[in-house]
Each structure stands twice: as structure tokens, then as C-alpha cells.
Structure 1
Amino acid sequence: MHDRHTRRFGLGTATALVMGNIIGGGIFLLPASVAPYGTVSLVAFGVLTLGALALALVFGRLAGRHPDTGGPYVYAREAFGDFAGFLSAWSYWTMTWVSNAALAVAAVGYVHVLLPGHASKGMDLAVALIALWLPAISNFAGTRYVGAVQLVSTVLKFLPLLFIAVAGLFFFDADNLGSFHEGGGSALGGMSAAAAILLYSYVGVESAAMSAGEVRNPQRNVGRATVLGVLGAAVVYLLGTVSVFGTVPHDKLVDSQAPFSDAMNAMFGGTWGGTLIAAAAVISIVGALNGWTLMSAQSPYAAAKDGLFPAAFQKKRRGVPTFGVLASTVLATALTVINYVSGAGGVFEILVLITTFSATVPYLLAAGAQVYFLLTGRRDEVRPGRFARDLVLALAAFGFTFWLVAGAGYAAIYQGVLFLFAGILVYAWMRARRTVREREAAEGLATADAPAAAEDSPKGILAP
């Protein structure tokens, strides 16, 4: 009965959640971002896709063992204890609400293309806040509506991107590619530089595992949805980048502000492509915000159930942790308002950098947890012959995530570590409160048992 009411995500919806969260607004600028490094960036994308698939398979294995809402938090706490679990939940929560603010701001630029001539700071702020709160309202309505919005938005953004990716192959001209490696240095250095930009293209791979408590038959569907979602995103990413590279001349692509629009214009002429891509971008961002708003509440919800986050985060309605959604959306709103009202673009960029590091902490802990489970005698939970394969996958996922950390850059790591360690005070507060409650409960139990023990003792003999 419980599953019928709360587990509302089937395989298709869970796959859409993964794919929709991975494909945000960044895809529409990626080809231009990596064009300065040459076509070696396509090799970097391929390597990253393999790493993301390894991470996806690890999340599928972990969800099969622990099919609970909270994903990486659950695995880290089970393997390494409360503190590691808290760091995973805190870091993931930080990443979600800060990146939601960034996505909302990114939506504003595409709305300008759809509605030219209406730009003002007040109007931009209103658009950003609408982009934040519409997905929040969808979440308040329950996971059934979240799933429906996610399915529709994923299809609406996936189809035009896939159309460009496939149609571009028919207009492909190798003369547009430029050289394999642009600029100075070695090809390996160019691939690493391109990878540093592309590294976070697959953040969101954990989405199905994070909402495992809402997925029907999670032992089977979480792993499949995660792999299918990554593969779907990879098709759009890789084919789309190849098509843009082959249809837009390299010297123009390097300076492009809308590479997919330029590709559409190059293929079919006119300028209508820009409007189409802008609409797809807005749908893509709102769809990503719909999924990420749910993700922002799942990790603190799981931690709150274990007494590591304030109890209010446990409040749930129709499968959605409503207080977590509200808290994350309010924080993202405050950050967005600060960005527009004070013009503190530098501060906003620093906070966005923090998200790049924060995303890797739960990934590293989850991959490490899988290694721990495999090496501590839990082979009985692994199918015969799968131990070596699962260990290799876990090590590959850990190495991939470690590469993510290295690619984040010194500034992101420095700022991210400071923000991560700030959570220690929250952990100390919550852990102290839980310890006091447990001690008071134990003392109350002892006091209640003492009179009963005295009554049961023979006269003249002290009760122990």
C-alpha cells in the first residue's frame, strides 16, 4: 500500500528525470566553449561519457543495495558513518540551490531572444524569479506532477536538439572543423583544457538514485534509468557538438554566442533558428529546474530522518519534501535578488564556482562507499562473477570524479572547501541535540525502571 501511494516514478519518468537534470542550459553554448581547442575536444567528450557511464552503473549497483531516498547521502552514511553522510547531504544541498539560482539567471538571456526590446533590470529579475517558482509550485503539487512536467519538458527539449544533431550530419562539411588541436601546447594538454569545461556536463547522473524512494521497483529501475538517461544525454551532447562543428565555420564558431542557432541558420538559411533554439533553451532550463528543485529537497530529507538536518526537512506531501523545496527555493531567490539588486556579479560567480566543487563531494563518497562495500566481505550481495567488474567500475567512477575535482580549478576548490567546512557547525549543533535527547531518554527510562525494580526486590535486599 505504501509503494502504491508514494512510488510514482516509473522507468520512463525516472529516465526523464536523469536526462532532464543532466541537460540544462549549458548544452546550447558548449560547442562554442570548446571550439578554441579544436576537434580534440570531441575526444575529451567521449572520455567523459565513459566516466559518466561508470558512475551511472555504480549508482545503479548502490541503489540496488540501498533503494532509499537520499542516494549518495544514504551510501556515504551507511559506509562511513554520520559525519560522512552529513558532508554528502550538506554539499549536495549547497550545490542544488546555488545552481538553481544560476539556471534561473541563464534563462533570462534566452527570454530576451524570444521577447526582444523588453529588457530592464526589474523585468530580468521577474523572469528569473518566475523561472524559480514555477518549478517549485509544480513540486508542491506532488511527485506525480513533477514527473509529468519532467516527461513533457524532456521531450520538448530533446526533440529539437536531436533534430539538429541528426540533420547536421547531412550538412556536415569537414572544411568547417579547423585543426585537430588549436593553439599552443600538446594535444593532450588541449584535451585536458577542453575537459575542464565539459566536466560538469554530466552532473545530474545521480538523480534517479537520489529519488529512489519515489521510484517503482528501485532495485531494477534506478540503475536502468540512470544508464538510459546518461546515454540519452550523451547522444544529444556528442552528436549535437559534432553537427555544430561540421556546419558552422571554425573561425565563426569560436566567437559564437548561440552556436546551435548559427548551425540552424547555416543549414536552412534565415534567422528563425535563433528563436527556435531560444524556446528550446527556456524549456530545457525550466525542465532542469523542475527536477533540480526536487533534488534539492531529497538529500536534506534523508538526513533529517536520521537527525542530521533540522526536523522540518522531514515534512512531506504527496511524495515531495515540501519544506526542503521551500527552503531551497527561498535561498535561491535571495541569491538571485542579491545578484540583480546589488550587481554583485563577482560574488555570484564565486558561489557558482562553489557548485562545481560541491557536486563532486557526494560522487567521491558514493564511489568510495561502493569500494568499501565490495572490500568488506559483502560479496554475498554481489552476483557471482561480478565482484571484479563492480570493483573496476567503482574505481573508474572514483577516478572520473577525482578528475572532476582536479578540473574544477584552484579557486573553486578553495571556495568550495570553505563552504563545505562551514557545515561542520550545523553538524555539531544537530549531533549535540540528538545526543542530549538520547541521554535524556535513557535517563528517563532508567528512572522509570528503578521503582519497578525496587518493588520486585525481596524486603531487606536492595534492588540493583
Structure 2
Amino acid sequence: MHDQPHPRRFGLPTATALVMGNIIGGGIFLLPASVAPFGTLSLLAFGVLTLGAIALALVFGRLAERDPSTGGPYVHARAAFGDFAGFLSAWSYWTMTWVSNAALAVAAVGYVHVLVPGHDSKGANLAVALLALWLPALANLAGTRWVGAVQLVSTVLKFIPLLFVAVVGLFFFDPHNLGSFNEGGGSALGGLSAAAAILLYSYVGVESASMSAGEVRDPERNVGRASVLGTVGAAVVYLLGTVSVFGTVAHQDLVNSTAPFSDAVDAMFGGRWGGTLIALAAVVSIVGALNGWTLMSAQAPYAAARDGLFPAAFATKRRGVPTFGVIVGVLLASLLTVVNYTSGSSGLFEILVLITTFSATVPYLLASGAQLYFLLSGRREEVRTGRFVRDVVLALAGFGFSFWLVAGAGYAAVYQGVLFLFAGVLVYVWMAARRASRAEGPEATEAADVTAADPGTTPAVRAAGPEITSAVTAAGLAVTVDTTV
């Protein structure tokens, strides 16, 4: 089902900013320190993962040529494998978005303390986290034009300081600061896999243009372009930034750093102003990511609601934005944030964050599988491709990347995620039952009309359907005429 005709508000620059802004959240500011214990081998892991992410971006672009509707991974999974697979994709994606939004808001609090020190209390922290959630939500409720504007501005504002550190840092690069290639020891393959497990989720968000395809101008062309450009742009920032930090901060200091980009700026120029600069960039980055992910939290249930797989309220749109989905998503994220700060234990919060690490992979696996299905099942014309071998290779690479994401999530994430995924089956059963009862309504009425017109038809004949009933009725009339004669 395609979106109703309406002005598409996201051009290629805005769609690209949506992808890049959603990929680059707050995690990048700790990333160099997170992978430093593995040595420069982690840069190789980054390169391999980048190729996988680009392959997945190309798969989403090809799928958008087939069906450029809002909902992206959900739309393609449902078209290939039916309602249940589509529901699992939408359910997984939806839960991932609002839980990860709560985690982003909590992450923003730490950077705000660097900018405004001296207000470290539970009440103040909660207020800052809720503000970080609701300001992007208000931009979303104002319409896609505001979403696009905020996304463009925030992406530029966070891209400039990160790229500044990445490029200028190369002039201060000192090879003596680097650790060994395989700092952790053991096999290089083991070190590569360990580093990749940390880096894997750096590229979650590659599907953002596909998810909002109904709002993108010329989506058959621009969804693929925005997906690839946004992924490549994020990769440039990631790779150059990590290389620069590796080369400007001594390895031993970097391993123990809690603010590697700030340490890099301080090492380049001296003083302690780097921390403030990077904290400001981090806040902008997180707010921009929340702006995009708030929209994503409404798009998957919107698409599913149009097909009767989510409650109908999620299908309401105003100014191009599924407003009910935005409100529900931000309320759930706010509730989780309140629980995090008031329960005295982060156990629930940590479990839900584990769920998101697995939930993000389900739509990717199903979308890649859908592309393979369309290519191999005699439905190649639906994906409009004359490059069969290339597209099969890309789909396999996207599936392999997604499968690697599952493996990198860890046992706890997969266990918790599968439980939450199967809990969604109850929602699917409820919605499917409602659809079935609505569908049976007109048929029951028609059967009652037939019975009233001809009480002599038996229940068995009525159950066989209107065609049989008509035939029996006609036969009865023929016999009556013959007997009369």
C-alpha cells in the first residue's frame, strides 16, 4: 500500500542529513577509547564494517525502487513474507527506537554537566533528560519541514567540530602514540571480531531514508543515494576521527580516557577548553539524533497501522508526521527515563538497552532476506534490476552484515531481545483477531440475507458459500417448475 499523495518534504540533502544524523549519535565521542585496547586492528574492523553498512544501504535503495512507501524494512518484509514477518519487523523497530531514545537522553545529561557544572542531582538530571526528549518531539509535531530543518542544522553543527578534529588532528599525528596492531594479543581474527562487536552498532540508522521514503522527493532515486551518502559521510567522520585521536593521544592515556576527543583537542592546542567544545558538539549531536529517531519511532507503527497490524490511531498524520506515534514514542521513552532516575537501580534500563541491540537487527535481516526473495523467486521485475548478480551479492553482504550484528549483540542481548520479540506476538494475535472479526461481519450479513430469502437452504449449504447457495436455490426452482408442469 502506497502513501496517499502529498507534498514530499525531504530533498536529497535533508534525507542524507537524516541518515547521517541518526547514525552519528553520542557514541562517537567515546568510540576511540572503546576500541583503543585492541590496537590499530580496530581501524581494519571499522573498514570491514563500513563495507557491510554500505552494502545494506544499497539494498535499501534497491528495495525503495520497488516500493517507495513509508515504513521501509517493514514494507518489504511484509511484501515478501506476509503479515507476521512484517509485524515482527515493525514491532522490533518500534521498541528499538523509543528505548534507544531514552538511552540517548540519559547520555546527554553527562555532557550537559560539562557545560553547566554544579547541578548534579536526580531531579536536575531527570529534567535535562526529559527536555532532551521533548524538544525534538515538539519539532516533529510541528511537521516534517521542522524535522528536516532541525536535522540539517544539527548535522552541520556536529559534523564541523568532528571533522575539524579529524582533519586537523592529522597534522599533529605522531606514530609513537599508536599502540601495536593487535594490542590485545592472541589471534588477529579474534581481535578483529572483538573490536567489531563494539563497533557494529555504530551504523544503526542506515535505514532512515528508507523508513521515511514516503516523505522523500523522488524516492526511487533519492532513498538509495541518501542511504549511501549518509553512511559514507558517517564513515568518514568515524574513521578519520578515530585515526586522529589515535595519533594525538598517547595510547596508554587513550585506553583510560573518558573524553577522547576532548583529550585530542587539548593535546593539539593545549589548555582545557577542548572539553567544553566537544561537550557542546555532543549535546548538539544527541539532540539531532533524537530529532531523527523520534520520527523513526512513529514511521514503523504508522506503516503497520495502515495495514491493520498496529492500532489504527498510529496511522494518523498531520503535516507529514504520524503525530500519535510521536506522542506515544516520547511518552514511553519519558516513562523509561523516569524509572531510570527514580527506581534507584538501572537494572530495568540496562535490560531494555540490551533489547534494543538485538531488536535493531531483526528489520535488517528481514529486509535483506526480502531482497534475496524477490531476486530468486522469479519476481526480479519488481526490483527493476538489470544487474542480477551484483544485486544478489549486495543482498548477501547486507544479510551477512545484519547476521554479524546479531552475533555481536552477545548472548544476553539476544536472549532478552527474543523474549521481548515474542511478547509482541500477543499484539499481533489481538490485531489479527480484530481484522478477522471485521472481515466476517459483511459475510455473516450476506449469509443471513440468503437464509431469509430462502429458509429451505440447509446450514451445510449456507456454510459452503454464496455460490453453492445460489446453485441450490436455482436447482430448487427448476424442480418446482418441472413438478408444476
TM-score (norm 2): 0.92
**Distance (Å, rounded) in 1 between the aligned partners of 2:79 and 2:385:** 23
Q: 2:344 is matched by which residue type in structure 1?
A: G
**Other-structure match for 1:306:** 307
User: Offset at 1:451?
Assistant: 7.2
Q: 1:211 to 1:383 in 2, by over 3 A?
A: closer
Q: How does 1:13-412 map to 2 (within 5 A)?
A: 13-382=14-383, 385-412=386-413
User: Offset at 1:184?
Assistant: 2.9
Q: Does the Cα contact within 8 Å between 1:265 and 1:271 map onto a contact in 2?
A: yes
Q: 1:143 is matched by which residue type in structure 2?
A: T
SS at match of 1:73: helix
User: Offset at 1:318?
Assistant: 0.5
SS at match of 1:111: helix
Q: Does the Cα contact within 8 Å between 1:58 and 1:397 map onto a contact in 2?
A: yes
Q: 2:342 is matched by which residue type in structure 1?
A: V
**Distance (Å, rounded) in 1 between the aligned partners of 2:372 and 2:301:** 24
Q: Does the Cα contact within 8 Å between 1:169 and 1:243 map onto a contact in 2?
A: yes
Q: 2:314 is matched by which residue type in structure 1?
A: F
SS at match of 1:108: helix
User: Offset at 1:346?
Assistant: 2.0
> 1:220-247: per-residue Cα shift (whole Å, max 9, x none)?
1100000000010000000000000000
SS at match of 2:319: coil
SS at match of 2:344: coil
Q: 1:256 to 1:83 in 2, by over 3 A?
A: same
Q: Does the Cα contact within 8 Å between 1:60 and 1:222 map onto a contact in 2?
A: yes
**Distance (Å, rounded) in 2 between the aligned partners of 1:195 and 1:349:** 21
**Other-structure match for 1:425:** 426
**Distance (Å, rounded) in 1 between the aligned partners of 2:336 and 2:200:** 25
**Distance (Å, rounded) in 2 between the aligned partners of 1:449 and 1:223:** 53
User: Offset at 1:332?
Assistant: 0.5
**Other-structure match for 2:467:** none
Q: Does the Cα contact within 8 Å between 1:3 and 1:216 map onto a contact in 2?
A: no
Q: 1:398 is matched by which residue type in structure 2?
A: F
Q: 1:3 to 1:433 in 2, by over 3 A?
A: closer
> 1:202-259: per-residue Cα shift (whole Å, max 9, x none)?
0000000000001111101100000000010000000000000000000000000000
Q: Does the Cα contact within 8 Å between 2:70 and 2:214 map onto a contact in 1?
A: yes
**Distance (Å, rounded) in 1 between the aligned partners of 2:21 and 2:359:** 20
User: Offset at 1:344?
Assistant: 2.0
**Distance (Å, rounded) in 2 between the aligned partners of 1:89 and 1:307:** 12
Moved more, 5-14 or 368-377: 5-14
**Distance (Å, rounded) in 1 between the aligned partners of 2:7 and 2:329:** 22
Unaligned runs of 5+ residues in structure 1 are: none
> 1:60-118: per-residue Cα shift (whole Å, max 9, x none)?
00011010000000000000000000000000000000000000000000000000111
Q: 1:204 is matched by which residue type in structure 2?
A: G
**Distance (Å, rounded) in 1 between the aligned partners of 2:446 and 2:164:** 67
**Distance (Å, rounded) in 2 between the aligned partners of 1:210 and 1:382:** 17
**Distance (Å, rounded) in 1 between the aligned partners of 2:260 and 2:369:** 38
Q: 1:125 is matched by which residue type in structure 2?
A: L
Q: Does the Cα contact within 8 Å between 2:66 and 2:384 map onto a contact in 1?
A: no
User: Offset at 1:376?
Assistant: 1.0
User: Offset at 1:442?
Assistant: 2.1
SS at match of 2:25: coil
**Other-structure match for 2:477:** 461
**Distance (Å, rounded) in 2 between the aligned partners of 1:58 and 1:336:** 35
Moved more, 179-188 or 124-133: 179-188
TM-score (norm 1): 0.96
SS at match of 2:317: coil
> 1:350-406: per-residue Cα shift (whole Å, max 9, x none)?
110110000000000000000000011122345564011000000010011101100
> 1:403-440: per-residue Cα shift (whole Å, max 9, x none)?
11001000000000000000000000000000000001
Q: Does the Cα contact within 8 Å between 2:374 and 2:382 map onto a contact in 1?
A: no
Q: 2:43 is matched by which residue type in structure 1?
A: L
> 1:314-367: per-residue Cα shift (whole Å, max 9, x none)?
111101001100111110000000000012212211110110000000000000
User: Offset at 1:119?
Assistant: 1.1
**Distance (Å, rounded) in 2 between the aligned partners of 1:136 and 1:69:** 19
Q: Does the Cα contact within 8 Å between 1:6 and 1:318 map onto a contact in 2?
A: no
> 1:164-185: per-residue Cα shift (whole Å, max 9, x none)?
1000111100000111111231
Moved more, 384-393 or 61-70: 384-393
Give yes or no for the alignment of 1:436 onto 2:437: yes
Q: Does the Cα contact within 8 Å between 1:75 and 1:369 map onto a contact in 2?
A: yes
Q: 1:388 to 1:452 in 2, by over 3 A?
A: farther
Give the count of matched residue pairs: 461
Q: 1:387 is matched by which residue type in structure 2?
A: F
Q: Percent identity between the aligned chains?
A: 79
> 1:277-329: per-residue Cα shift (whole Å, max 9, x none)?
00000000000000000000000001011111011101111010011001111
SS at match of 1:461: helix
Unaligned runs of 5+ residues in structure 2 are: 456-469, 480-485
Q: 2:266 is matched by which residue type in structure 1?
A: N
**Other-structure match for 2:12:** 11
SS at match of 2:28: helix
**Distance (Å, rounded) in 1 between the aligned partners of 2:345 and 2:150:** 33
User: Offset at 1:444?
Assistant: 2.5
Task: Give the alignment's Cα RMSD to 1 decimal.
Answer: 1.9
Q: 1:176 is matched by which residue type in structure 2?
A: N
